[in-house]
Amino acid sequence: SLRKLNIGYVDLMLLHHPGAHDVEAYKAMERAVEAGKIRSVGVSNYYIREMTDFLPQVTIKPVLVQNEIHPYYQEKEVVRFMHENGIVIEGWYPLGGRGYTAAMLGNETIGRIAKAHGKSPAQIILRWDLQNGVVIIPGSSNPGHQRENISLFDFELSPGEMAQIAALDRNEKHDWY
């Protein structure tokens, strides 16, 4: 893979989700770290139960856990657990995911907060993630959306606004992991 990519190492490699041989696969990634082929390792779609079982079996603690997190699926306990264990948490589908983005961006509460700040609903959601200590990497091929997605640092949501978005949690997972 390194030859095909024409690079000397991978910055971060994630094990996609727990499975029958996840510890063996992760240990192979640990060997690649020792060999200098990977700089950092992490996991995706691991929650408290999975991490509690997984961590004692590996040598290198994952630097990052990538899970579905958005206003309708906030995983507050998981975020807290990862932070307490010194693991960065990244939210995939920060805007709701396939088939759900339009409804989330059209949410009345998010829209009201966006209007108060002169920002888009997407910016409000992404800022909410950041203020919750959740890393986000929103994807877009639209240059306007790309500019909007990085324009998150000239405003802050108030504690009241954060609480309003926290109240939107429906435990509504938009993917099967």
Domain assignment present for 1:
no
CA distances from 14 to 10, 148, 150, 166 (A): 11, 27, 24, 28
Mean pLDDT lowest among 54-58, 88-92, 137-141, 151-155: 137-141
Residue 59 is assigned to a structural domain of this protein: no
- Please state the pTM of the whole predicted model: 0.91
Note whether residue 100 is domain-resident: yes
Task: Name the residue with tokens 């030859």.
Answer: 3
Q: What is the pLDDT confidence band of residue 102, given thresholds at 50, 70 and 90?
A: very high
Total structural domains in the chain?
1
In a domain, 119, yes or no: yes
> pLDDT at position 74, please?
96
